[in-house]
Amino acid sequence: MKRHNILTFLKALFSSQLASLVDISVTFLLANVFGLYYVYSTAIGSVSGGVFNCVVNYEWTFRYSECSKLSVAIKYIIVWLGSIFFNTGGTYLLTELLNRAPFVKNMADFAFDNMFMLPKIIVAVLVGIFWNYYLQKYFVFRRCFFDRLITK
């Protein structure tokens, strides 16, 4: 890998971690302070983290000033919808799977009341690396079809 590619990947990881912090904080507050169902909290947290991530990646990570903000927004929303689907669905599936395991349920009851947070973190890391990073690098922050339509 070129030095530039490594630096971009590290910036994307850092941006993703900050966005995950926003996501997890919003999710935790909605579920624990406001009592919102964890699946809804997860979806709203994903939206919050996604907005943060898009702005940081546009301005700092990929520095994509040659593309219109509208074009980036359209492409980002396409990727983001998949990310929200994978994060919300993956968190739900992994949480429900773990809740069915008696030893995990007993440990979770002892350790904390928010069993869904561990699956949420695991899923967020996997989606961040294998979905968000590659699609942002090669689709969102790269000149393509949407750019040509908007600039004409």
Q: What is the pLDDT of residues 115-132, one digit of tens each?
A: 777 888 899 889 888 998
Q: For residues 107 and 27, what is the distance between their CA atoms, to the nearest angstrom?
A: 22
Q: Give me the sign of the Cα torsion angle 93, 44, 79, 81.
A: positive
In sign, the C-alpha dihedral spanning 67, 69, 74, 77 is: positive
pLDDT digits (tens, 9 = 90+) for 137-146: 888 887 655 5
Cα 135 from chain centroid? 12
Report the amino acid identity of residue 86.
Answer: F
pLDDT, residue 137, reads: 85
pLDDT at 18: 92
- What is the tens place of the pLDDT at every residue in 45-77? 988 998 898 889 888 888 766 677 888 888 899
Residue 106 to residue 111: CA distance in whole angstroms: 9
pLDDT of residue 148: 55
Specify the pLDDT at position 109.
56
State the pLDDT at residue 146: 54
For residue 9, pLDDT over 80 is answered with yes
